[in-house]
Chains A and B, each alone.
Chain A
Amino acid sequence: MGRDAPSTLRQGNFGMRLTGFALLLAGWALVLSALILLKAEVPRTVFALAGMAVEILGLGLAFRSHLISRQGRG
């Protein structure tokens, strides 16, 4: 981390952050898979939206892993 970044960023939950970004990539891969593997409109749409849902979950985890705790504030 950067020189004198808030302590919580140094102590931040690295595992959660990594999982969040992995889910972002996994969601994107799901969307691409939907395009390649499925021809029918409805299953393709549902599969792609499921990929978006995984991305939103990953985004939530990424935000959560960057939340600063009370000790780090001020």
Chain B
Amino acid sequence: MLLSQPLSDASVAICILCILLVPLALAGLTLLNTGLGRSRGVAHSMLASLCVLAIAALVYVIFGFAAQGFIGRPAHTLTIGNSTWNWIAQEPLFARGVRRGDLSGSLVLLLQIFSVGLAALIPLGSGLDRWRLGAICASTALMAGITYPLFAHWVWAGGWLAQLGINYGLGHGFVDAGGSSSIQAVGGLTALAIAWILGPRRGKYSREGMPAAIPGHNLAFVLFGCMLALVGWLGLNGAGAILFTGTEAGVVPLVAINTILAAASALLAAVVITRLRFGKPDASLSANGWVGGLVAGSAACAFINPPLAILIGLVAGALVTFSVEWLELHLTVDDPGGAISVHAVCGIWGVFALGVFGRFPSPVLNVAAGPSAPPLLGDAGQWLAQVVGIATLIGFVLPLTYGLNWILNRSYPQRAAPEGERQGMDLSELGAGAYPEFVTHTDEFTRM
């Protein structure tokens, strides 16, 4: 589908349905993060998630969308040699560029409001049990206003990464249908920056250097969160494929099949690997494997066949189990929710996998190509376009998000006070716990 062609009625209907499913991914991730944290931080974690969604939506609509824009809209460009690099959108604040009745623009804005919320929820997993509510809100504003829109413009709004095909003959330019890079990897790399800045939880590492196991307080939350996340991801990948790659409505069932297969194979890989290594399957690592499969399968969901979705999922499941251990044991990064492994590592793998396995039967709607624009090239060089995107994530997005959060931390300390961390985030920040009856039961047992 070319830019000049409007969305078909079927595409619009499916797209709206898919977008309305995306909030379930947010709910699933919230439950996952909360379940993997301690019981004395449940109310804090849930309230923080709601605050993240609220701030992300407001800041993104007020500022972020002005920097991101959408395909075919005015943008600031830079001419280098014979090529025009599209750097940042030229939209008015408060999303006033989306006119009443502008169906494509409205759908992109709606999907992006949920997407930026999802990206901003990811760092909560790495900052569990020690990240102050005020700092969470401020950090979310930075992501929704600066980091996310900038990279999403480059990928999804005809930015220079999407132009790599037209400008430098690298396949179809950088392609990401469901957000493995712009949502997941951006969120995962921010999670890494937050984990670095906050440092590990008290008592996580012994004086001998061994990490203590601090298991999640509610695995039912975690596993139910996985199921909700699947439904949300089906919507995210379906809507993303239609709006950002020009996929026809008839391909959306294949997108859904690939999404499910990637998650399923990643879960089974994690179950088998943890069973072989530890004697029994590890529920929390397996849950992380499931989400890792969803993350990795997002980029290529519209451009691969089911066997390749299974392969991508299998690798993602293995990557999650090994990288969680590597980060905790060897790199002393305390990431209670596994956000870095699941979203950054698997997101980058998904982006690379698209470059290796993706096949493109029709032009990809990722550049502002008018009727006189040259036809898009074939698949040759696609992997290099994906590598350039990965280099941008690691070489630009990570320093940017670390720098922004480091500056924030200098002016407003992000980590909770030691006494507050000992009490738990619920009592110290909210004044009341999520499970007050637990205390009563403890007292009763003590008296017996």
Contacts and interface: CB of A to CB of B under 8 A. Distances in A.
B396 interface: yes
Nearest to A21: B399
B199 A27 contact: no
A29 B205 CA distance: 37
Contacts of B417: 3-4
Interface stretch (B89-97, B101-109, B384-392): B384-392
B198 A55 contact: no
Interface in B373-429: 381, 384, 387-388, 390-392, 394-396, 398-399, 402-403, 409, 413-418
Given A27-B391, A36-B80, A68-B200, A2 B413 contact: yes
Contacts of A41: 381
Interface string A19-30: 001001101110
B143 to A, nearest CB: 18
B399 A24 contact: yes
Contact of B331 (A3, A24, A51, A67): A67
A55 B395 contact: yes
B81 A36 contact: yes
Contact of B207 (A28, A35, A45, A73): A73
A44 B206 CA distance: 48
Contacts of A1: 197, 409, 413
B402 A21 contact: yes
B414 A2 contact: yes
Given A28-B392, A36-B81, A4 B415 contact: yes
A52 B387 contact: yes
Contact of A63 (B200, B331, B388, B413): B331
Contacts of B208: 70, 73
B305 interface: no
B435 interface: no
Contact of A73 (B168, B205, B414): B205
B164 interface: yes
B388 A48 contact: yes
Size class of A's contact patch?
35 or more
B279 interface: no
A55 B81 contact: no
Indicate the size class of the contact surface on chain B: 35 or more
Given A5-B199, A6-B199, A73-B209, A27 B395 contact: yes
Contacts, number: 104
Given A2-B413, A4-B418, A48 B387 contact: yes
Interface in A37-54: 41, 44-45, 48-49, 51-52
Q: Is the interface of A mostly helix, strand, loop or mixed?
A: helix
A58 B170 CA distance: 26
Given A4-B415, A5-B199, A73-B207, A25 B395 contact: yes
Contacts of B387: 31, 48-49, 52
Contacts of B436: none
Interface in A1-20: 1-6, 8-9
B433 to A, nearest CB: 22
Given A4-B417, A35-B164, A35-B168, A24 B395 contact: yes
B391 A51 contact: yes
B377 to A, nearest CB: 13
A37 to B, nearest CB: 9
Contacts of A58: 395
B361 interface: no
A68 B417 CA distance: 19
Interface of B: 80-81, 83, 164, 168, 196-200, 203, 205-209, 331-333, 381, 384, 387-388, 390-392, 394-396, 398-399, 402-403, 409, 413-418
A-B pairs, 4 with minimum CB distance: A28-B395, A2-B415, A73-B205, A3-B413
23 contacts: A1-B197, A2-B413, A3-B415, A3-B416, A8-B199, A21-B399, A24-B398, A24-B399, A32-B388, A35-B164, A35-B168, A41-B381, A44-B384, A48-B388, A49-B387, A51-B391, A52-B391, A55-B394, A59-B394, A62-B398, A67-B332, A70-B208, A73-B207
Given A28-B396, A70-B208, A74-B205, 18 more contacts: A3-B415, A5-B197, A5-B199, A8-B199, A27-B391, A29-B395, A45-B384, A55-B391, A59-B398, A63-B333, A66-B196, A66-B331, A66-B332, A66-B333, A72-B205, A73-B205, A74-B206, A74-B207
